[in-house]
């Protein structure tokens, strides 16, 4: 029953179920991300896409099923999860920078505490990474002194400074003012061009069309449809995908649903 996935896929998810009490959020997900691939996950809120992403690095514990990251089963209860997470960068909707530390220290503290790099080496890598996201002039600033877009770019740099094999993005632009979204998407775009393996949960359809190798549409805890962005976004096959896309792409014309909305 498993779809055949390439042996070297960076993320492999098999029949994943996640239940919060009586609520079943993921109802049997089969999913994979190949090395160097950019996969955007779209879907209405409550569809389980963020939960799926958080199951990849075990911020949520799966109820049943398996998740493999670069060949390691992260759903194995005996796995050294800290070691696995070192290889997975994660970017949150709310940035989650450490507010008590300067930008530089935000980037160096995990390098030093987790990778045991020397202070000099950690700072060199931090500065390089900050240059990559265009914020090398902010090393001494504190997160509260930065705009949302700058904070999110620092958060991306913080994850990149750990040399991850793949990056997870959980709605990275949803908490940003519209005029700041572009800078953050540009950074993610650059990463994609560099060949980084990425899984991006997003509402930015234009970005998904532009950057993704594959788009996955989730609804009601299952993967409804997936395919190349032009196909899935341009010519969706399922009723639910069509419905969702018409709402997102043309919100002023959408009919209110009878429940929720």
Partner 1 sequence: MAVGRQGEPVSSLVGRRRSPLASLPRTKRIRLIRGAQYAVFVLVLLLVALTVDWPTIREGYFNLDKARPLFPTILTVALKNTVVYTAMGFAFGLVVGLFFALMRLSQVTPYRWFANCYIEFFRGIPLLLWLFFLGYGVPTATGRQLPFSPYSAIVLGLGMPAAAYLAETIRAGIQAVPRGQMEAARSLGMSQSRAMISIVIPQAFRIIIPPLTNELIVLTKDSSLVAILGVAAGTQELTKFGRDELNTLVNATPLVVAGLCYLLITVPLSIVVRRLEARNARAR
Footprint of partner 1 (CB under 8 A) = 57, 59, 82-83, 85-86, 88-90, 92, 94, 96-100, 109-110, 113-115, 144, 155, 158-159, 162
At its nearest, how many Å lie between partner 1 and the CB of residue 159?
7
Q: Closer CB to partner 1, residue 5 or residue 81?
A: 81
Q: Closer CB to partner 1, residue 164 or residue 236?
A: 164
Assess contact for 222 and 27: CB atoms under 8 A: yes
> What DSSP string describes 28-87?
EEEEEE-TT-EEEEE--TTSSHHHHHHHHTTSS--SEEEEEETTEETTSTTS-HHHHHHT
Q: Closer CB to partner 1, residue 55 or residue 232?
A: 55
Q: Where does residue 73 fall: left (phi above 0), alpha (psi -120 to 50 degrees), or beta otherwise?
A: beta
Q: Closer CB to partner 1, residue 72 or residue 110?
A: 110
At its nearest, how many Å lie between partner 1 and the CB of residue 87?
8
- Alpha carbon dihedral 131, 135, 141, 145, in 10-degree steps, equals -160
């Amino acid at each position: 029953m498993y779809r055949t996935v390439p042996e070297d896929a960076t993320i492999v998810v098999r029949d994943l179920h996640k239940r919060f009490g009586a609520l079943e959020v993921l109802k049997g997900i089969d999913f994979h991300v190949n090395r160097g691939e950019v996969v955007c996950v779209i879907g209405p809120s409550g569809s389980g896409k963020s939960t799926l992403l958080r199951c990849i690095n075990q911020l949520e514990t799966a109820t049943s099923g398996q998740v493999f990251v670069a060949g390691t089963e992260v759903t194995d209860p005996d796995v050294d999860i800290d070691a696995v997470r070192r290889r997975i960068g994660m970017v949150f909707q709310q940035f989650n920078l450490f507010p008590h530390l300067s930008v530089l220290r935000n980037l160096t503290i995990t390098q030093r505490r987790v990778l045991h790099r020397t202070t000099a080496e950690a700072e060199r890598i931090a500065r390089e990474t900050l240059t990559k996201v265009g914020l090398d002039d902010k090393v001494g600033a504190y997160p509260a002194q930065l705009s949302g877009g700058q904070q999110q770019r620092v958060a991306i740099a913080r994850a990149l400074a750990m040399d991850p094999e793949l990056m997870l993005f959980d709605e990275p632009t949803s908490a940003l003012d519209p005029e700041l979204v572009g800078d953050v998407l540009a950074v993610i775009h650059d990463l994609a061009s560099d060949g980084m393996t990425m899984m991006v949960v997003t509402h930015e359809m234009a970005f998904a069309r532009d950057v993704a190798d594959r788009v996955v549409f989730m609804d009601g805890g299952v993967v409804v449809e997936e395919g190349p962005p032009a196909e899935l976004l341009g010519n969706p096959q399922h009723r639910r995908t069509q419905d969702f896309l018409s709402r997102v792409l043309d919100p002023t014309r959408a009919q209110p649903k009878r429940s929720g909305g």
